[in-house]
Amino acid sequence: MQGRDIRTGGGRLTVVGTGPGSVDHMTPAARSALEQADTIVGYGTYLDLIRDTFPDKELVTTGMTREVERCREAMDLAESGRHVALVSGGDPGIYAMAGLVLELAETRNSSLPIDIIPGIAALNACAARLGAPLMHDFAAVSLSDLLTPWEKITARLDAAAAADFVIVLYNPKSKRRTGHIEVARDIVLKYRPPETPVGIVTGAMRDHETVVITTLGQMLENEIGMQSCVIIGNTATRVWKHLMITPRGYGSKYALEEPEGPVP
Amino acid sequence: MQGRDIRTGGGRLTVVGTGPGSVDHMTPAARSALEQADTIVGYGTYLDLIRDTFPDKELVTTGMTREVERCREAMDLAESGRHVALVSGGDPGIYAMAGLVLELAETRNSSLPIDIIPGIAALNACAARLGAPLMHDFAAVSLSDLLTPWEKITARLDAAAAADFVIVLYNPKSKRRTGHIEVARDIVLKYRPPETPVGIVTGAMRDHETVVITTLGQMLENEIGMQSCVIIGNTATRVWKHLMITPRGYGSKYALEEPEGPVP
């Protein structure tokens, strides 16, 4: 972040992506940010992963759904002069805490230095477990309509399905919201055959991780929950040995041409 | 990967995401995979980052555009009984090496054990540098038409723009391909005002990193190259203190409702 001005008694706030469950997937940059912090703020389950690694740190924990409260508390502590790390599972930059922190800082017109350390997001982790589903253009859509009109979500699903994007579904299902995933499947079925490969990863990189490769037609016969991420293949995605492969191109099955390098 | 059968004399292939430029963003899982390998295969620039950390490893390097050759070589070495790590900058699972490796393995009907270790991708790294642009639904589109018909790419840009996705452009420009980014901008301009925030990050997390916040109308006045990743905001994205903020919802500017947690 450029243009920092330090008028906060040395306080600062770092939003730290700790990646999926295991510390094996937390970057050195994230670890170092936690080491340097006076206080670590986060949701209980994520902090449990950190507690053993940093036994001497002050930890401030809140409930799962108390995201706004957690950000406020982290910002209050930082503005009082502390160096605070706010922990976000996965990547704080993808459907997570980075935006809330910046929205809050904007509301307060805060001059607090704020840094964001990226992490391995659910989509990175789940793609790795499923093989190679994200080799071509993809769209990430959250099925939660808590802050977004449902009509906007279904319009996006329709657009993504029609344009043959691989589709990554975040928040596919909760106790309260069980029907959205059915609607999502039906929308994609308008454009893709029921044999289209679908991957469901639950609790990626954790002890209780499950990985399922199924099809668009049969996906709802599988367990899908709060910790699941669902990836629906495009019309070229195929399955080989329980792995999803989305080919890089639409030419021959195995394109021998040399592509340009992707952005590293 | 499930269902491994070991008929390859102990050889194995691990596709390792080393993240953006700096080793600060390489996970312990990736590092450990490199440590365990007999041979590390990769593109020169990525290997330079690793050479100092693992001075005793056998390194096999190929040119930037020799992706297929590199995969073949890695697979040949693994099938001869070696434990091979194939290095991919960023995340091998996003527009990168994971798919090519699995396509090759499928063609050979290989029984080699293959693992994929996710990394911080360009989109994770660039989002962190830009603030919080990916707080809501987004679409990743590569502008390279080497393996994909250009009409398919423009159709996807149109669909993503019309449905108000945040848009992440991979491969926005190369020496040979300079006009695609102009077409992309014009397509998005059909649906979004010229004031729409756009972020351009080049060489994310490297020494020569540049971060630019501009607008849809003016984006082409900035340097964009092979190592750039471009993020175009949705209709709600705004800029605060040189940072992009895409709000999590479409309700009040600062939604105080407590959301459900994202997939961690």
How large a percentage of chain A has pLDDT more than 70?
Answer: 90
Measure the CA–CA gap between B223 and B2, rounded to whole angstroms: 45
Q: Are A176 and A143 in contact (CB under 8 A)?
A: no
Which residue of B104, B118, B171 is in closest CB contact with A128? B118
How large is the C-alpha radius of gyration of chain A?
20
Q: How far is A7 from chain B (nearest CA, A)?
A: 16
Mean per-residue pLDDT, B229-246: 97
Number of H helices, E strands in chain A: 7, 13
A114-117 and B138-142 beta bridge pairing: unpaired
Q: Which residues of A touch B249 (CB under 8 A)?
A: 146-148
Per residue in A3-25, pLDDT tens?
334 445 789 999 999 999 778 99
Residue of B nearest to A250 (CA): B148
Q: Which residues of B touch A95 (CB under 8 A)?
A: 134-136, 248, 262-263
Q: In sequence order, which ranges of chain B are alpha helices (DSSP H)?
A: 28-36, 44-51, 67-79, 97-108, 122-130, 150-162, 180-189
Q: How far is CA A206 from its chain centroid? A: 15
**Tokens in use for B113?**
């054990």
DSSP state of B12: E
CB-based contact B164 A171, cutoff 8 Å: no
CB-based contact B25 A24, cutoff 8 Å: no
CB-based contact A158 B163, cutoff 8 Å: yes
Residue of A nearest to B136 (CA): A95
Which residue of A28, A134, A160 is in closest CB contact with B94? A134
Expressed in percent and rounded to 5, the helix, strand and coil fractions of chain B are 30, 25, 45
Q: How far is B242 from chain A (nearest CA, A)?
A: 8
Q: Which residues of B touch A102 (CB under 8 A)?
A: 131-132, 240, 243, 245
pLDDT-derived band at A63 (thresholds 50, 70, 90) equals: low
CB-based contact B250 A2, cutoff 8 Å: no
pLDDT at B259 over 60: no
Measure the CA–CA gap between B91 and A129, rounded to whole angstroms: 13
Mean per-residue pLDDT, B117-136: 98
Which residue of A66, A171, A263 is in closest CB contact with B263? A171
pLDDT at A113 over 60: yes
Longest dimension (CA), chain A: 61
CB-based contact B25 A118, cutoff 8 Å: yes
> What rounded mean pLDDT belongs to chain A?
89
Q: Are A8 and A81 in contact (CB under 8 A)?
A: yes
Measure the CA–CA gap between A94 and B91, rounded to whole angstroms: 15
pLDDT-derived band at A65 (thresholds 50, 70, 90) equals: low
pLDDT at B251 over 70: no
Per residue in B144-186, pLDDT tens?
998 899 999 999 999 999 999 999 999 999 888 889 999 999 9
Which residue of B26, B29, B156 is in closest CB contact with A137? B156
Q: Are B197 and A189 in contact (CB under 8 A)?
A: no
* Beta-bridge partners for A45: none
For the entire predicted model, the pTM comes to: 0.92
Q: Tokens 């706004």 map to which residue? A: A68
Q: Are A244 and A131 in contact (CB under 8 A)?
A: yes
Q: What angle do CA B111, B112, B114 make, to 5 degrees?
A: 125
Q: Which residues of A touch B163 (CB under 8 A)?
A: 155-156, 158-160
Q: How far is A87 from chain B (nearest CA, A)?
A: 11
Per residue in A158-211, pLDDT tens?
999 999 999 999 999 988 888 999 999 999 999 999 999 999 999 999 989 999
